[in-house]
Amino acid sequence: MKQLLKLCQQEEKKLGQLGQQRNNAQNRINGIEQQKQQLSQMVTDYTQLSVSGGMAMMLQNSAQMIQAIAPMQKQLHRQQLLLQQEHQRMDNLWRRQLGRQQAIQWLYQDRQQELQYQQQRQEQKQLDDLAGRYATT
């Protein structure tokens, strides 16, 4: 019974670790999404600056900045895709671990109830035997 309890605790610990890894992956995805939004805002700002007109130098600088931002956006997009795949993998592992942990916990509780039931039956038998002795005297 102690081994089953220990196994149950180990599975809970694994579940917690996987949950933490899953949350970390989601947080990294959220961070990349914020970076992508910031870069998109920068592109919008530089585009508006170009459209509003201005000196040739400003137009050229805006165009260069937009060209410089494009590879960063592509890189962030690739990172986001990879992180989403990693998050999905971690989520699948977490779900499997959750099922395993719940099954082991259910087994532990079932065994605990069975043991308690057996102890109650044994106590009742002892009380019945004791009552039977007093009844015959």
Query: Domain map of the chain by residue range?
Result: 2-136
pTM of the model: 0.73
* C-alpha to C-alpha distance for 81 and 64, rounded to whole angstroms: 27
pLDDT at 59: 79
Q: Report the C-alpha dihedral over residues 116, 120, 126, 132, rounded to 10 degrees.
A: -160
Mean pLDDT by 10 residues, the chain (137 residues): 90 95 95 96 84 73 89 96 96 96 94 95 91 75
Range 2-136 classified under CATH 1.10.287? yes
